[in-house]
């Protein structure tokens, strides 16, 4: 449990850093950044996989596919769902849509808590229940204020939930399964990088990208590996609630990039920020009990 908590929190910090760094990859566009991210992430993910001695998990997945060929369709669907999220994550801050995406990450924990409750009969502590109610109040206010949610918001909230549930059903919710997802994303990534006009000359002509692309790969590989580890080590509901740390950091990154929260939106974000504080308290109490 403690390892899962630590993995989730560190991953959230790294995702927030990556969100803030995305505009520094200009003049690459969102699709090109997605392609370079996948290509730069895979070598570091491979190093993590081998360094942690988890190559056997990939071999076991391959053996399962040979025994049950239909499993390959599930693994392709898993990779496709992850690919959409990776693309959206770096497309949004380049197109002034960082806040709608961050709101999707605010809504995501509520959807995962509901999925954990309905699918896996998971229970929440009192503080986790309080955090859920606070976050639900913020989301409800946004629905009443705006009348609806943007497509980016729903794509994150529903898409990621289906992705994590699918990985659990496929028994691929480990680093080996994540590595396979990234490997399957290489063909579309190469297409985005090399399509006309190719971004390869653009990267070679921009000295700052020589450093930024590898840095993106390192941060992405470590953040995704920790995030996937947390999804396996924690109950789905708790994993979902801890995901509130990430959208707070993403919202702060969006503000730092020049976007703004209007006065009418503070009743949405305020309760969610408080919910994150409640989760921090709950996590501290868990650590204290584990230490005692």
- Is the confidence at residue 195, as pLDDT, over 90? no
Dmax over CA atoms of the chain, in Å, equals: 60
What's residue 98's pLDDT?
76
Sequence-separated (6 or more) residues with CB below 8 Å from residue 175: 45, 48, 49, 52, 54, 57, 225, 228, 229
Cβ(104)–Cβ(156) below 8 Å: yes
Between 45-54, 175-184, 223-232, the lowest mean confidence (pLDDT) is in 223-232
Cβ(76)–Cβ(70) below 8 Å: no
Q: Which has more pLDDT, 75 or 200?
A: 75
pLDDT over 70 percentage in the chain: 90
Residue 6 pLDDT grade (very low, low, confident, very high; cuts 50, 70, 90): confident
- Report the candidate in 168, 243, 173, 255 with the shortest Cα–Cα distance to residue 11: 243
What's residue 171's pLDDT?
92
- Is the confidence at residue 292, as pLDDT, over 60? no
Rounded to whole angstroms, how far apart are CA atoms 158 and 34?
21
- Mean pLDDT for 37-44 is 88
76-110 burial string, b = 16+ CB within 10 Å, else e? eebbebbbeebbbbbbbbbeebbbbbbbbbbbbbb
Cβ(210)–Cβ(203) below 8 Å: yes
Domain boundaries, the chain: 2-291
Sequence-separated (6 or more) residues with CB below 8 Å from residue 80: none
Rounded to whole angstroms, how far apart are CA atoms 220 and 222?
6
**CA 11 and chain centroid, separation:** 9
Alpha-carbon dihedral 139, 144, 147, 153, rounded to 10 degrees: -10
What's residue 66's pLDDT?
95
**What does the block give as tokens for 4?**
């899962």
Rounded to whole angstroms, how far apart are CA atoms 284 and 107?
23
Rounded to whole angstroms, how far apart are CA atoms 246 and 251?
9
Q: What is the pLDDT of residues 136-189, one digit of tens each?
A: 888 788 778 766 678 898 899 899 999 989 998 999 988 899 899 999 999 999
Q: Return the ∠ at Cα 6 (arms to 4 and 11), rounded to 5°.
A: 95
Residue 244 pLDDT grade (very low, low, confident, very high; cuts 50, 70, 90): low
Between 52-66, 208-222, 254-268, the lowest mean confidence (pLDDT) is in 254-268
C-alpha to C-alpha distances, 59 to 46, 51, 54, 177, 210, nearest whole angstrom:
14, 16, 9, 10, 34
Sign of CA dihedral 284, 133, 98, 87: positive
Q: Which has more pLDDT, 22 or 237?
A: 22
Residue 123 pLDDT grade (very low, low, confident, very high; cuts 50, 70, 90): confident
- Which DSSP symbol is given to 115? H
Please tell me which of 4-8, 130-134, 163-167 the model is most confident about, judged by mean pLDDT. 163-167
- Report the candidate in 145, 124, 143, 160 with the shortest Cα–Cα distance to residue 278: 124
pLDDT over 90 percentage in the chain: 22
Other Cβ atoms within 10 Å of 67 Cβ, number: 7
What's residue 114's pLDDT?
79
Q: What is the pLDDT of residues 76-116, one digit of tens each?
A: 999 999 999 989 987 887 787 877 887 787 778 778 877 88
């Amino acid at each position: 449990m403690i390892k899962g908590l630590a993995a989730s929190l560190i991953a959230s910090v790294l995702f927030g850093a990556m969100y803030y760094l995305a505009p520094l990859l200009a003049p690459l566009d969102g699709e090109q950044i997605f392609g370079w991210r996948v290509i730069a992430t895979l070598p570091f993910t491979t190093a993590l996989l081998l360094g942690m001695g988890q190559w056997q998990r990939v071999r076991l997945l391959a053996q399962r596919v040979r025994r049950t060929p239909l499993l390959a369709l599930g693994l392709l669907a898993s990779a496709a769902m992850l690919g959409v999220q990776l693309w959206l994550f770096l497309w949004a801050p380049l197109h002034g849509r960082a806040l709608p995406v961050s709101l999707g990450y605010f809504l995501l924990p509520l959807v995962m808590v509901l999925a954990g409750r309905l699918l896996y009969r998971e229970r929440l502590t009192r503080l986790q229940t309080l955090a859920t109610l606070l976050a639900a109040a913020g989301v409800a206010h946004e629905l009443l204020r705006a009348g609806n949610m943007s497509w980016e918001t729903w794509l994150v909230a529903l898409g990621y939930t289906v992705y994590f549930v699918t990985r659990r059903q496929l028994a691929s919710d480990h680093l080996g399964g994540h590595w396979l997802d990234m490997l399957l994303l290489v063909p579309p990534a190469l297409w985005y990088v090399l399509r006309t006009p190719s971004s390869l000359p653009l990267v070679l002509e921009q000295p700052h990208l020589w450093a930024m692309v590898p840095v993106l790969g390192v941060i992405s590989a470590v953040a995704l590996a920790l995030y996937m580890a947390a999804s396996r080590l924690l109950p789905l509901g708790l994993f979902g609630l801890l995901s509130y740390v990430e959208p707070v950091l993403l919202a702060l990154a969006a503000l730092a990039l020049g976007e703004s929260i209007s006065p009418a939106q503070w009743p949405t974000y305020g309760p969610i920020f408080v919910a994150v504080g409640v989760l921090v308290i709950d996590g501290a109490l868990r650590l204290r009990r584990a230490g005692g």
